[in-house]
Structure 1
Amino acid sequence: MKLIPGRIYAVRLCSGELRRWRFDGVDGNGLAWWQDEETGLGFSEASLMYAWEIAAAESGCSDEDGDG
């Protein structure tokens, strides 16, 4: 799946909880950055200390056109 900056994804945590995260893109060091839509906190994938997976991309949540 090609991740599109600005798009919101449904993410399943290892506990089974579903969260809504917005993909903010990749920085100059190659780290992917996200923002939790509920808490507003931003973070990089490198800072996460639990397993997670993308369950689905939400449609119509991006200002950019994507192929995903």
Structure 2
Amino acid sequence: MEPVGGCSYVIRLCSGELRRWRFEGVDQRGFGWWLDEETGLGFSDASLMYAWEILERADDG
């Protein structure tokens, strides 16, 4: 699934934990940026140190 900027997604981490992340878009280097909606922390694809996958789009409404 290709994420869409400004949309939220249910993410499954390699531990099995489910998180809700919002995709903020792609920067000039081609890295995707995300916001963890629970913690409020932002990060890029390049900074992730564990495996994860997008399960579904989770936008409200």
TM over 0.5: yes
Aligned Cα RMSD in Å?
A: 1.2
Give me the TM-score of the superposition, normalised by structure 2: 0.93
Give me the TM-score of the superposition, normalised by structure 1: 0.84
Aligned pairs, number: 61
Instruction: Quote the residue 1:27 is aligned against.
Output: 27
Greater CA radius of gyration, 1 or 2?
1
Q: Residue 7 and residue 14 in structure 1: after superposition, are their counterparts in 2 closer, same or farther (change >3 A)? A: same
> Segments of 4+ in structure 1 off by > 3 A?
none
Tell me the amino acid that sits aligned with residue 25 of structure 2. G
Q: Which runs of 5+ in 1 are unaligned?
A: 62-68
